[in-house]
Amino acid sequence: MTLRALRRAAEERLSAAGVDSPALDARLLIEHALGLSREDWLVRGDEPVPPDAAARVDALLERRAAREPVGRIVGERAFWTLDLSLAPATLEPRPDTETIVECVLDALPDRSAPVRILDLGTGTGCILLALLAELPNATGLGIDISAEAVATAAANAARNGLAGRADFRTGVWGAGIAERFDAVVSNPPYIPSADIATLDPEVRDHDPLRALDGGADGLDAYRAIAAELPGLLKDGGIAALEIGQGQADDIRRLLETAGLPVAEIRPDLSGIERCIRAAKPV
């Protein structure tokens, strides 16, 4: 079988398994298994694939057909301008979460300022590290309840040349943090407990439950964070939180009850309200 024929067969196999993006996933898995670049498809497409190489591809396709995400299979995921390693204790970063990064960057009057950023529930560190990559004089602290997530985020900072400006440690939201920050960001768990079973298998079976389950109404983490934000933000500081579909009004009330007027609710690329931004009055 040639490389091009292998790719066609892989696409058909993943399509039959109900995978949403069979062509892209087939290409990524074959490239990972065989150590190929995008350019190799142009010059090596008619080369035969040795049986041992085809077997490596088959093993990865079997996992993807069982609905394990590509990022979990290859152990990494692109986010913003970064390449990030994953771990069982971390969510797989998704493009929707880049809405938070955009929202914060647009709200900062001076991207060269020495701002301090706090990331609550940092996971892979994706939000904090994406912001640091765009803000050359910013520094940040990422907090996660999982020691494995903290270690993964620290490794991702080093991988992307940001270790000198990012610290990570274990904790429960903002508990015990005395410092005040220019910006606080978070992608907290927001799926109502009863809805977990209805999620796509890529999420339900492979993302950590603790990072998905937001309690009976999906708002448990927001209640905790909203109560802590006034003590975590400097005067004039901003908070940007990822939210689930249909949650904007409830989370707005939580933030405004805490004394943080909401300045913006920003949709993601699908038009779903995805980020809520509030500010602490000066």
Q: At what angle do helices 147-159 and 126-134 cross, to 10 degrees?
A: 30
The answer to whether 123 is annotated as binding is: yes
125 assigned binding-site residue: yes
Is 244 annotated for ligand binding? no
Consult the annotation and say whether 124 binds a ligand. Answer: yes
Residues 6+ away with beta carbon under 8 Å from 17: 64, 65, 66, 67
Q: Is 189 annotated as a binding residue?
A: yes
Residue 32 DSSP SS3: helix
**122 marked as part of a ligand binding site:** yes
Residue 222 annotated in ligand binding: no
Whether the CB-CB separation of 105 and 131 falls below 8 Å is answered with yes
Cα 149 off chain centre by? 12
Which residue, chain included where needed, has tokens 């931004």?
277
Residue 137, annotated as binding a ligand? no
Decide the pairing of beta strands 262-267 and 82-85: unpaired
Question: What is the length of the chain?
Answer: 282
Known binding-site residues equal 121-125, 144, 173, 187-190
Known binding-site residues for substrate equal 187-190
Known binding-site residues for S-adenosyl-L-methionine equal 121-125, 144, 173, 187
